[in-house]
Amino acid sequence: MHREPLVDTDSWTVAGVTLRSRFLLGSAGYPSPEVLRDAIQASGTQVVTVGLKRTLVSGSDNGFIAIVREAMAAHNARLLPNTAGCRSAREAIELAMMARELYETNWIKLEVVGDEYTLQPDPIELVDATRVLVREGFVVWPYCTDDLVTCRRLLDLGCALLMPWGAPIGSGQGLVNPLALRTLRARLPDAIVIVDAGIGAPSHAAQAMEMGLDAVLLNSAVALSGDPVRMARAFRCAVEAGREGWRAGLIRAQDFAVASTPVAGQPVLLGPAESSTDDRQKG
């Protein structure tokens, strides 16, 4: 049964901004600014993540940010600054304030890491930072784990959406806990849920979208691939395919075969004993 029209009205809205693309792209680690620009174009993305670094540590950015700004303007798209590198709520709050001034946006991808090995988000610090930033007028995009209770707390505090990890950042493992993500979808049906981090292959993105999640955000899988522009296009196709699959309604998996070709009324040409030795009946 058709649940939705085929005409593409499949947009989503964050804080009053309507977006069509469900593929959010990170801007780090590309071989050159030109490759980044072409990858942004190939991806069709409308949201690109950016960061902040101390000037003496980072030096020149070799033109990457100028390219990102240019590409965003060309596609009427948005920048999403992050608080990468923060280890406490206080740090993240201060960095968010700086990001708002530098990028002239109140959108913030809130990252507060609690473990150096896995770069796992710290749920306590994340909730504390969210409480302050929402009060300060930010649209908070929290990078979080797939823990249902933490996610619910973040929504209760006023987060615009949720961004649970699929796997540790940059690991490329895909969705290591699909049950948790399905649970989020089932228990928070009205929340915008974006899988952020850990996606390595287009099939991982398609899997997330087929589960009814709303979008995917990734960086390394495109930037570090052999051909980032081609990979950006591949992910775009995968996200769209997965989304369309979910909209169409997947069939339920079963443990037994169900013939797809109708057999009722078909003539039986040979008996079982004869057909077992007849090659023409194979397939």
Q: Which residue in this structure is represented by tokens 């949201």?
A: 47
Give helix 228-248 / helix 33-43 axis angle, nearest 10°: 20
The residues facing 216 across adjacent strands are 23, 195
> Does residue 90 interact with another protein by CB under 8 A?
yes
**Which residues contact residue 232 at a Cβ distance below 8 angstroms, ignoring those fewer than 6 apart?**
25, 39, 40, 42, 43, 222
Residues numbered 169 to 198 that lie near another protein (CB under 8 A) are 169
Site string for another protein, 245-274 (x = CB under 8 A): ------------------------------
Helix (H, G, I), strand (E, B) or coil at 143: strand
- Strands, sheet with 23-26, edge to edge from the N-terminal-most edge strand: 23-26, 215-218, 194-196
Cβ–Cβ < 8 Å for 178, 220: no
Cβ–Cβ < 8 Å for 145, 121: yes
Cβ–Cβ < 8 Å for 53, 82: no
Q: Which stretch binds another protein (CB under 8 A): 15-23, 52-60, 122-130, 232-240?
A: 52-60
Residue 1 Cβ vs another protein, minimum distance, rounded to whole Å: 40
Selected from 19, 41, 78, 94, the binder of another protein by CB under 8 A is 94
Q: Where are the beta strands (DSSP E) in 131-196?
A: 139-144, 163-164, 194-196
> Does residue 228 interact with another protein by CB under 8 A?
no
For residues 276 and 106, give the distance between their C-alpha atoms in angstroms, rounded to a whole number.
Answer: 70
> Does residue 50 interact with another protein by CB under 8 A?
yes
> Does residue 86 interact with another protein by CB under 8 A?
no
- Of the residues 22, 37, 100, 109, only one is catalytic, namely 109
Selected from 14, 42, 47, 68, the binder of another protein by CB under 8 A is 68
Number of residues engaging another protein in binding (CB under 8 A)? 36
> Does residue 95 interact with another protein by CB under 8 A?
yes
> Does residue 116 interact with another protein by CB under 8 A?
no
Count of beta carbons in the 10 Å neighbourhood of residue 158? 14
Residue 135 Cβ vs another protein, minimum distance, rounded to whole Å: 15
Selected from 52, 180, 237, 248, the binder of another protein by CB under 8 A is 52
Active site residue 109: yes
Selected from 65, 176, 180, 237, the binder of another protein by CB under 8 A is 65
Question: Kind of pairing, strands 12-14 and 23-26?
Answer: unpaired
Count of beta carbons in the 10 Å neighbourhood of residue 71? 20
Residues numbered 229 to 248 that lie near another protein (CB under 8 A) are none
Residue 260 Cβ vs another protein, minimum distance, rounded to whole Å: 43
> Does residue 53 interact with another protein by CB under 8 A?
yes
Binding site for another protein (CB under 8 A): 26-30, 36, 49-58, 61, 64-65, 68, 81-82, 84, 90-91, 94-95, 97-99, 101-103, 169, 219-220
Active-site annotation, residues:
109
